[in-house]
Amino acid sequence: MSTTDETEEQLVARHKKEQKNLIATVTGLKKQATKSKRKEVNKKCLEMELDLKERHEKELKELRIRNGEEEAEEEITPEMLLAQVEIDAKESEPKAEKKPEAAEVQPKPKRNRQRERLQRRQAEIEQKRAEAEAEAAEQPNLKEIEQEHLDTLCTMNNLVQFDIKPDGNCLFASIADQLEQRQGIKISVQELRTKAVNHIRADPNTFTPYLFDEETMSLKDINEYTETIEKTSAWGSDLEILALAKEFDCPISIMMSGSSTMKINEDGNGEELKLVYYKHSYSLGEHYNSLRDAN
């Protein structure tokens, strides 16, 4: 079906799907952005959001015009914009003074509707930007609140936060640091990924319920999921924490702001591994660090 054959209901449904896809794209871009590219990526994401919003408004307006619900406006082409620039330039040139004649009737200036539309459109864009910035400024600084809370918890428990590189491997790298610090085990991130997926595959009855996808309302394929975890830098989750806690027969605790510390596999016999979870402190999104003893 072409876009010209869409009903308004179908158009709105497509717009919602495109908005959802854009949110996923923007989230992915921000997660992959390095510190040096963060500002540029954020700017690009904002432009993509504004472009999509503008296109959706245009498509909805065109549909309503075709249905006779709105009056059509003349399309603004690059040639028209160029012509308008030339007109503006001529109007701004100084003109020789002319003595008015007694009987001369001054013509009424012609209304430039094209320029008015351009000005309205630019004003709307600027207003949307200003509203978005104002809304962001009024929001509480969740990063500061989270960090202050975690710092307090660490002081109370005689722990320090050991920074791990913020990427898709942060969970596994944090566990690797804890294994070395608390159990004297040296192991790589890749080895941990392999151990986690092997444990999951060997005990599907325990781990399959964790693979329920709320968006599709169905279970993810366990083989596809574990292959992604093992062969890519995909973010780890509670599923992998549980698998590794059982693999090394030890409890793993996760300190977090706003709730009590979560403990996984509390009955494990090995020394407890201690992680800290951040939701707001890193621009890439969720993150894990290792918790070492302060002394």
The secondary structure of the chain, three-state, reads CCHHHCCHHHHHHHHHHHHHHHHHHHHHHHHHCCHHHHHHHHHHHHHHHHHHHHHHHHHHHHHHHHCCCCCCCCCCCHHHHHHHHHHHHHHHCCCCCCCCCCCCCCCCCCCCHHHHHHHHHHHHHHHHHHHHHHHHHHCCCHHHHHHHHHHHHHHHCCEEEECCCCCCCHHHHHHHHHHHHHHCCCCCHHHHHHHHHHHHHHCHHHHHHHHEECCCCEECCHHHHHHHHHHCCCCCCHHHHHHHHHHCCCCEEEEECCCCCEEECCCCCCCCEEEEEECCCCCCCCEEEEEEECC
**What's residue 102's pLDDT?**
53
Ranges of the chain with pLDDT below 50: none
Give the domain 142-293 fold: Cathepsin B; Chain A (3.90.70)
**What's residue 282's pLDDT?**
72
**What's residue 117's pLDDT?**
78
**What's residue 198's pLDDT?**
97
**What's residue 3's pLDDT?**
62
**What's residue 209's pLDDT?**
86
**What's residue 1's pLDDT?**
57
Q: pLDDT of 168-217, one tens digit each? A: 999 999 999 999 999 999 999 999 999 999 999 999 999 988 888 877 88
Domain ranges of the chain: 1-73, 142-293
